[in-house]
Structure 1
Amino acid sequence: MSEASGHFHDQHTVDVDVEQSAPRARRSRRKTKRALITDLKRSPEQNRRSREVQYLIMQGLRLPFILLSLFAAFAWENWGLAAIFFLISVPLPWISVMVANGQGEVRDSRSRNVYKPAVAREEAARLEAARQAQLAQADGSGAANAPSIIEHDD
């Protein structure tokens, strides 16, 4: 390319500020623990629900396998295929129960097991105090709101 045509450009030259080209200071070598979305565990409720769905699916597959074995035996007259379908249906209830009763995901031993009975006691005391205040307010507002007592002897 020529300078006369006004299109002079050197393809090997790159404009860079000096501040940008200086190497950045090294970051500390301390590793920070980052949680990946694939590392997250399911909650116990999600885990239980997943096992329930797997149980229902496996139990639901038993009847179609038995029907397929009957269809293969009598409609297609293929007793070998019928035996295979039936043999698949036999352990399905046992497998589905084993999956449903499984533990699910193992709890990470690094996670803290937190139990705070004081918080539960404080909440119960707060609810009891609110109930007592509501009862006291009902007693002080007049006898019209109070329930009537029916004596047995009347």
Structure 2
Amino acid sequence: MDRLNEDVKRALKAKDKKRLSVLRGVKSSLQNEAIKEGRELQEQDALSVLNREWKQRKESLHEFENAGRDDLTEEIEKELAILSEYMPESLSEEELDRIVQETITETGASSGSDMGTVMSAVMPKVQGRADGKLVNQFVRKHLT
């Protein structure tokens, strides 16, 4: 949060309206989440909020691309570039596969009916570093 506050100040001084808008939006989302939770956010909570912001923009980007709105696509790509500075480094497919296999072993899962158990155990381990759809694909691959 300190880094975010400092970056908001820098964006203000630099008169970088786009960066300022994105950072204020993220800061607002973090504050709203803290109010909703009734406590100060932990790093994991903040990652969850950032991930939600990232996903919303990715979905918008996809919709704008499908609609042929290049002007809006450019804007969303700029926002994603700004957000990416705050996101943890993504896991490689090999790392994700290893985490999924370890979790399947830990939980004793053996069939597709154990998918929910494995997903709920894997997601906290990869929070903000892997997309849920990709995790789902890996879990499904190993359980079927």
Structure 1 length-normalised TM = 0.27
Q: Which structure's CA Rg is the greater one?
A: 1
Higher RCO (CA-CA < 8 Å; seq separation 6+): 2
Structure 2 length-normalised TM = 0.29
